[in-house]
Amino acid sequence: MDTTYQIATQPEDAKQDDSAPVVGLKDLHKSFGTQQVLKGISLTVGGGETLAVLGRSGSGKSVLLKLVIGLEKPDAGSVSIHGQDIAGLDLDRIGEVRKTMGFLFQHAALYDSLTVEQNVAFPLQHHKKEMSKSERSARVKELLAEVGMDGHLDKMPSDISGGMQKRVGLARALALEPDILLLDEPTAGLDPISAAEIDDLVLKLQKERHMASIVVTHDLHSAKTVADRLVLLYQGEIAIEGTFEELRHSDIEFVKEFLKDS
Ligand SMILES: Nc1ncnc2c1ncn2[C@@H]1O[C@H](COP(=O)(O)OP(=O)(O)OP(=O)(O)O)[C@@H](O)[C@H]1O
Ligand SMILES: [Mg+2]
């Protein structure tokens, strides 16, 4: 881990609290117009832990991730990163905090007009300006090797498969050595074998890098494979939180219905 960089990206007066969870959400509320999407979500994720967020389409999973990244603001409640509430931060400071997060969006995993190499180089070019071109190029190759995509540097995103696009997206998400990894539907739209490969990759990365990870998914198999703990969103609230086995033994009707194919 590049500790010099870690220190350099800390806001000058950051109130980092090492005893706090890496990600802490407290009583989050978010509405769009009259639609109440999240109605009081509280959860924590610690270093080295992977939390899966499950829920039906439209249940607010992507909104939840956007709140963590600071792309959406909560109507009420707080988002703390290393114990620091991001609500009060100005855009520059949120930008600094965001550099400690790697994310893979649900749609638009990659920039269409950039090659695989340029996609992964992008965060380094913007946030590690001190890196020389040759250092950057070597780092991009390392990152792509980590996700099994070396040898595809000059390809365009449209010329590689969905699973390969997700791999490259993961490499890009890891470029700044994040300690938080946020993945929105990393296996959606993939065939079962490619999905299982992505799950294995997420597990491997998590083992090596010990990040606090949140994986949003409605793929139960994927959640079971990658997550230490799961939460299931229902009508804006957490219907249940626990291990996969705990969810499976739940008596809550909605939980049983949701898990019936698992
Ligand atoms: N910027 C926005 N403006 C208005 N409504 C929004 C906005 N973002 C999300 N919503 C609404 O909030 C609800 C939750 O959306 P969200 O994208 O979080 O669902 P999701 O659980 O990720 O669903 P999916 O599994 O289909 O990805 C939806 O009804 C959506 O239309
Ligand atoms: Mg979504």
CATH code: domain of residue 145: 3.40.50.300
**Residue 9: its pLDDT value, please?**
43
**Residue 91: its pLDDT value, please?**
84
95 part of a folded domain: no
For the chain, strand residue ranges (E) read 23-32, 35-45, 50-54, 76-81, 84-85, 101-104, 180-184, 212-216, 229-234, 237-242
232 part of a folded domain: yes
Domain hosting residue 208, numbered range: 46-70+101-258
Of the listed ranges 91-100, 117-126, 227-236, 244-253, the one predicted with least confidence: 91-100
Task: Dump pLDDT digits (tens) for 87-106.
Answer: 888 888 888 899 999 999 88
Q: Which residue has the tokens 């990244």?
A: 69
Has residue 250 got a pLDDT over 70?
yes
Pairing type for strands 180-184 and 237-242 reads unpaired
| Residues in contact with ligand 1 (CB, 6 Å cut-off) | 32, 37, 55, 57-63, 106, 218
The residue whose CA has the least distance to atom 13 of ligand 1 is: 58
Has residue 111 got a pLDDT over 80?
yes
Task: Dump pLDDT digits (tens) for 182-216.
Answer: 999 999 989 999 999 999 999 999 999 999 999 99
31 part of a folded domain: no
Residues β-bridged to residue 233: 238
How many domains, the chain? 1
The residue whose CA has the least distance to atom 29 of ligand 1 is: 58
For the chain, the average pLDDT equals 91
158 part of a folded domain: yes
Q: Which atom of ligand 1 is nearest to the CA of 33?
A: 4
Has residue 7 got a pLDDT over 70?
no
**Residue 245: its pLDDT value, please?**
94
208 part of a folded domain: yes
Has residue 39 got a pLDDT over 90?
yes
